[in-house]
């Protein structure tokens, strides 16, 4: 393979500096427009423009400095990246340890025909990660194919397309509370930064008049309905931006590739031999409408940088929110095994009692707060009783549902574990990849004869737990899942 794989040093694209400058300058016209609408004078507008342009010039100079000294090369054994002039930095990782290659291109980068390449080995704290920001799009694709497919690309056939987006699936995003929270947070940030403009338009005065005309109850109901409507529409639009054009394919050599994105395109390639299982994620609202999403349990996806993983949890997603039947079909396509067809074994009533106790304890602060307000005469007694009944009913409902969702099972290849109510997770973990067991028992678990058995692995979250299982059953499951691993520490009756 020629090009970037010739063993020589290559420079990043100078267009990356231009992309940074465009991103810095894009908000300037909007900011100036808001200032003019708010009635700002010529001096503040000119001052803001001057400061903004000066900052952009400094950022551009810093970007040019980084570009001038940044070099990368790919040899037969290693991937190397060197940067910095005064303070030199050199990073090198063996090619055989590379687990995943991630390509991203935001709208500006797409126009400039460049992309960001992130190569990961799965090392902790980002130690096993090299990021090239940014290189030519064709070179980025050449790096992805060369590092992931390697010489096995010609030896093994590809299965082609495994799944692609059905636009109707975007409706399931309306049932995803996390996306609604993102939308509400963004709107709250915009409102907080544009208070003066909204005040000049008379928005706050109109809201005050509406509150006086409608009354507290009706105004609150309409506000909640409007927030829900905006959250649902925003969640669908946000999901469309993230998942439009989604395709899951198996490439030559057993490589899984996920491509997606409307404005910012993303491409993640993962060697199939790094896959250790899958996780079926079912938030409560999504579960009510028979929806789910499918995540990969693999090395090199969750252990790069903790903050980056929190910002981009979709890096491990194999299937966005979709019908549960589709998630099961994709599971079979990816694993070539119907891992979730195993009937899970439920847990005892002692586990239910623990969850009922949690529900009762959670209701105590609510009852105390309402009782204090009633004692001060702020709210009527009947409202305290109503809140108490609702808190207990909701808590007990979640407790019963959480107990019903507890379960575990084994088949010839996988350990299955399920738990959760607000977010139910069912993981299928390859038994051959379990490297240890972590057994924990709290004081209350010991009194109830229960334990939590955690299977440790080098992939995904690194530990997957079977919660609140009988002591004998939990140890038997661990012994049967990986024969001989825990046997020396067991005393059999």
Per-residue burial over 1-20, b if 16 or more Cβ lie within 10 Å, else e, is eeebbeeeebebbebbbbbb
Helices then strands, counting H and E runs in the chain, come out as 16, 20
Q: For position 162, what pLDDT does the model report?
A: 93
Predicted confidence (pLDDT) per residue in 106-143, tens digit:
999 999 999 999 988 765 555 678 999 889 999 999 99
Contacting residues for 364 by C-beta, under 8 A, at least 6 apart: none
Q: What is the DSSP letter of 345?
A: B
CA of residue 462 relative to chain centroid, distance: 16
Structure tokens at 7: 């063993």
Half-sphere exposure of 266 (CA within 13 A, CB side): 20
**Token pair 């469309």 in the structure block, residue:** 240
Alpha carbons 119 and 113: distance in angstroms, whole number: 19
CA distances from 347 to 258, 353, 474 (A): 36, 11, 10
Predicted confidence (pLDDT) per residue in 278-321, tens digit:
999 999 999 999 999 999 998 866 544 444 444 445 678 999 99
What SS3 state is found at 376? coil
Do 420 and 407 form a contact (C-beta atoms < 8 A)? Answer: no
Structure tokens at 240: 């469309």
Q: For position 103, what pLDDT does the model report?
A: 93
pLDDT above 90 covers a percentage of the chain that reads 52
Alpha carbons 399 and 402: distance in angstroms, whole number: 5
Can you state the angle between helices 15-25 and 27-37, rounded to 10 degrees?
A: 10
Structure tokens at 221: 């109901």
Q: For position 181, what pLDDT does the model report?
A: 87
pLDDT band at 457 (very low <50, low <70, confident <90, very high): very high
Q: For position 145, what pLDDT does the model report?
A: 86
Q: For position 158, what pLDDT does the model report?
A: 59
Residue 126, Cβ density class (10 Å: 0-12 exposed, 13-18 middle, ≥19 buried): middle
First and final CA of the chain: distance in angstroms?
62
H helices present in 98-215, as ranges: 107-112, 137-144, 177-193, 195-200, 203-214
Write the DSSP assignment of 238-278 as a string of letters.
HHHHHHTT-EEEEETTTEEEEEE-SSSEEEEEEEGGGEEEE
Q: For position 157, what pLDDT does the model report?
A: 52
Do 122 and 304 form a contact (C-beta atoms < 8 A)? Answer: yes
pLDDT above 70 covers a percentage of the chain that reads 91
> Does the pLDDT of residue 151 top 50, yes or no?
no
**Token pair 């006086």 in the structure block, residue:** 212
Structure tokens at 463: 């530990």
CA distances from 91 to 6, 79, 305, 308, 437 (A): 19, 8, 16, 19, 34
Beta bridge partners of 249: 161, 257
Dihedral class, residue 152 (left if φ above 0, else alpha if ψ from -120 to 50, else beta): alpha
Residue 346, Cβ density class (10 Å: 0-12 exposed, 13-18 middle, ≥19 buried): middle
Residue 128, Cβ density class (10 Å: 0-12 exposed, 13-18 middle, ≥19 buried): buried
Q: Where are the beta strands (DSSP E) in 284-410?
A: 291-298, 317-323, 407-410
Provide the whole-model pTM.
Answer: 0.84
Backbone dihedral angles phi then psi of residue 124, each to the nearest 5 degrees: -75, 145
């Amino acid at each position: 393979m020629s090009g970037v794989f010739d063993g020589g040093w290559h420079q990043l694209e100078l267009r990356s500096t231009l992309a940074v400058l465009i991103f810095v300058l894009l908000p300037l016209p909007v900011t100036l427009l808001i200032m003019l609408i708010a009635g700002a004078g010529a001096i503040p507008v000119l001052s803001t423009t001057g400061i903004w342009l000066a900052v952009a010039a400094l950022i551009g100079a810093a970007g040019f400095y980084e570009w001038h000294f940044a070099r990368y090369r790919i040899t037969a054994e290693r991937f190397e990246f060197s940067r910095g002039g005064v303070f030199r930095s050199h990073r090198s990782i063996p090619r055989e340890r590379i687990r995943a290659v991630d390509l991203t291109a935001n709208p500006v980068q797409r126009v400039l025909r460049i992309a960001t390449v992130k190569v990961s080995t799965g090392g902790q704290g980002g130690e096993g990660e090299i990021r090239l920001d940014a290189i030519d799009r064709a070179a980025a694709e050449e790096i992805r194919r060369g590092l992931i497919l390697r010489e096995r690309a010609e030896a093994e056939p590809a299965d082609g397309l495994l799944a692609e987006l059905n636009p109707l699936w975007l409706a399931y995003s309306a049932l995803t509370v996390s996306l609604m929270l993102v939308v509400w947070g963004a709107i709250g940030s915009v409102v907080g930064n544009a208070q003066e403009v909204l005040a000049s338009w008379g928005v706050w005065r109109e809201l005050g008049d509406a509150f006086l005309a409608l009354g507290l109850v009706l105004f609150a109901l309409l506000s909640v309905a409007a927030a829900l409507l905006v959250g649902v529409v925003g969640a669908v639009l946000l999901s469309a931006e993230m998942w439009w054009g989604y395709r899951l394919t198996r490439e030559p050599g057993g490589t899984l590739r996920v491509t997606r994105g409307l404005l910012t395109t993303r491409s993640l390639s993962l060697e199939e031999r790094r896959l250790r299982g899958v996780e079926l994620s079912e938030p409560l609202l999504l579960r009510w409408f028979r929806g789910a999403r499918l995540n990969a349990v693999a090395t090199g996806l969750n252990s790069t940088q903790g903050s980056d993983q929190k910002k981009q949890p979709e890096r491990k997603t194999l299937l966005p929110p979709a019908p549960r039947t589709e998630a099961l079909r994709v599971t079979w396509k990816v694993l070539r095994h119907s891992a979730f067809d195993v009937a899970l074994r439920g847990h005892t009533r002692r586990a239910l009692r623990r969850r009922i106790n949690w529900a009762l304890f959670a209701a105590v602060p609510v009852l105390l707060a309402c009782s204090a307000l009633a004692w001060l005469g702020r709210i009527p007694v009947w409202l305290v009783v109503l809140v108490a009944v609702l808190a207990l009913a909701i808590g007990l409902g979640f407790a019963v549902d959480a107990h019903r969702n507890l379960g575990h099972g084994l088949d010839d290849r996988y350990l299955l574990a399920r738990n959760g109510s607000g977010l139910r997770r069912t993981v299928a973990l390859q038994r051959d990849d379990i490297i240890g067991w972590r057994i924990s028992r709290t004081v209350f678990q010991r009194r109830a004869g229960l334990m939590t058995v955690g299977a440790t692995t080098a992939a995904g979250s690194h530990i997957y737990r079977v919660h609140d299982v009988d002591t004998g059953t939990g140890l038997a499951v661990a012994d049967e899942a990986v024969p001989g691993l825990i046997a020396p520490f067991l005393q059999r009756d």
